[in-house]
Amino acid sequence: MKVELKIWRYDTSTGERALRPYEVDVTEEATLLDTLDAVRDRLDGSLAYRKSCRMMICGSCGMRVDGGAVLACKTRIADVVADGHVPVVSAMGNLPIVKDLVVDMDPFWQKMRAVQPYLEPRLDRATEKENVVAQEQMDMIHKESLCINCGCCVSECNSMESDPDFLGPAALAKGFRFVGDARDGATIDRLERYSEEHGIWDCTRCYFCNERCPKGVDPRDAIAKLGAEAMKAGIDRDMGARHAKWFVTSAKTTGWLRETELVPKTQGVVKAIKEIKFAMSLLPKGKIPLPFPPHVAADIGESRALFDLVTDQGRSGAAGIVQGEKALMHLAHHGESVDGPSHPYDDPRSFPKPYLPDEEPAT
């Protein structure tokens, strides 16, 4: 099968960047990784990319195809080039490029390190015998344990693009892997740390991480689990946590979001007063609905009673999210391919990153 593709090359020695076209013959079953091997072996021995296992387990071969991060060894090239499409292959985003398709994973590992990705055993429970953990307890962290540290989730993370210090989806998913581990003794400490600036509450819920992760980790869901655990533990000083809490209060009291009080409840009264000029500019447009009389949903008593009922049933915190995962497991990512407008990622502005090693990450 003849395959055409374009690859963004970056030459470290000259600093030169170029989009180069290639054409190779590969088998029908070939993956993108096989295709790159063919390019390197037959056309250009200087092409740089990472690989090791070739079977979706080492996490080395993350790269972008048409702007979306994939594992090269998991991607069938025949699917990509269907209907004569000529894909653009480039390095992952949100990480500095070393050469061609190879990114510097250092910032990724630094963030991993920051969440302390190892068990801090509960010495208070040390026993003579081995510590047996029930299956349901391990189910709590089943998905997060599947992570292979490939970085695909980080590549298009919208919050990290705007705040390069954001811990990001992979590190936070790893964080939940330990917060949810019954054997870990540093839970509160972890939740405190992950709740700081650049942590849990930085996530803008763009869901790119869930979309990209080749292993079904669903990092955004892991972040929600961390938020749920933090709030369960009473760690809710952050504005993001207070914002979330106000929704619960609203649902219990009036049923609908009490929008106008959301700002002072999230930001605190002092900061909210600083925002008054902005708020006043929205007032005449009805964008700041008056809180009185409150807009109360019919049968609001049911909503309050439900809250009281379920809080007694012991599924608060992350368990409330984990309980729904079994049902979602069978869903495969999909979305019909269409002959739509040009691909958004063909445009270099789509994601300002990947940035080059000598460039400062844009903020």
Partner 1 sequence: MKQVAYYKGCLASLSAKELDISTQALAPKVGYELIELESVTCCGAGDIHEAEPDYYLHLNARILSYAAATGADTLMTVCNVCTLNLRQANHQLLNDAALRERVNDNLEQVGVPRYEQDVDCVHFLWLVAGESFGKLQEVAHKGLRGLRIAPFYGCQILRPSKLMGFDDPDKPDSLERIIAACGGEAIDYPAKIKCCGFPIIQAREETALAELIQPIEQAKEAGADAMVTPCPLCHLSLDAWQSKLKKQTGKDFQMPIFHLSQLIGVAAGLEDAELRFKRHVVSMQPVLEKLAL
Site residues (vs ligand FES, CB under 6 A):
51-54, 56-61, 71-73
Which does residue 345 bind out of ligand SF4, ligand FES, partner 1, none, counting CB within 5 to 8 angstroms by kind?
partner 1
327 lies in the binding site for partner 1 (CB under 8 A): yes
17 lies in the binding site for partner 1 (CB under 8 A): no
Which does residue 169 bind out of partner 1, ligand FES, ligand SF4, none, counting CB within 5 to 8 angstroms by kind?
ligand SF4
If the CB atoms of residues 14 and 363 are measured against partner 1, the closer one turns out to be: 363
Q: In whole angstroms, give the CA distance from residue 351 to residue 158.
A: 9
Joined tokens for residue 287: 């964008």
Which stretch, 36-44, 158-166, 289-297, 352-360, contacts ligand SF4 (CB under 6 A)?
Answer: 158-166
Which has the closest alpha carbon to 147: 65, 51, 222?
222
Of the candidates 36, 61, 105, 152, which one interacts with ligand SF4 according to CB under 6 A? 152
Our CA angle for 36, 41, 47, nearest 5°, is 55
Q: In whole angstroms, give the CA distance from residue 214 to residue 223.
A: 17
287 lies in the binding site for ligand SF4 (CB under 6 A): no
Q: In whole angstroms, give the CA distance from residue 113 to residue 111.
A: 5
279 lies in the binding site for ligand SF4 (CB under 6 A): no
Half-sphere exposure of 314 (CA within 13 A, CB side): 0
**Amino acid code (one letter) for 138:** M
CB 279 within 8 A of CB 288: yes
Q: In whole angstroms, give the CA distance from residue 221 to residue 181.
A: 16
306 lies in the binding site for partner 1 (CB under 8 A): yes
Query: In the beta sheet, which residues pair with residue 296?
Result: 255
88-90 and 2-11 strand pairing: parallel
Joined tokens for residue 122: 């509960």
Residues 226-265 that bind partner 1 (CB under 8 A): 227-228, 231, 238-241, 243-248, 250-251, 255-257, 259, 262-263
Going by the DSSP 8-state scheme, the letter that residue 152 receives in this structure is: H
For residue 330, the minimal CB distance to ligand SF4 (Å) is 19
Draw the binding track, 49-88, toward partner 1 (x: CB under 8 A; -: no contact).
-----------------xxx--------------------
61 lies in the binding site for ligand SF4 (CB under 6 A): no
DSSP 55-91: SSSS---EEEETTEEEEGGG-BHHHHTGGG---EEEP
For residue 328, the minimal CB distance to partner 1 (Å) is 6
Which stretch, 35-43, 101-109, 111-119, 281-289, contacts partner 1 (CB under 8 A)?
Answer: 281-289
If the CB atoms of residues 71 and 80 are measured against ligand FES, the closer one turns out to be: 71
Draw the binding track, 173-212, toward ligand SF4 (x: CB under 6 A; -: no contact).
x-----------------------------xxxxxxx--x
Q: In whole angstroms, give the CA distance from residue 190 to residue 312.
A: 26
Residues 183-212 that bind partner 1 (CB under 8 A): 201-208, 210-211
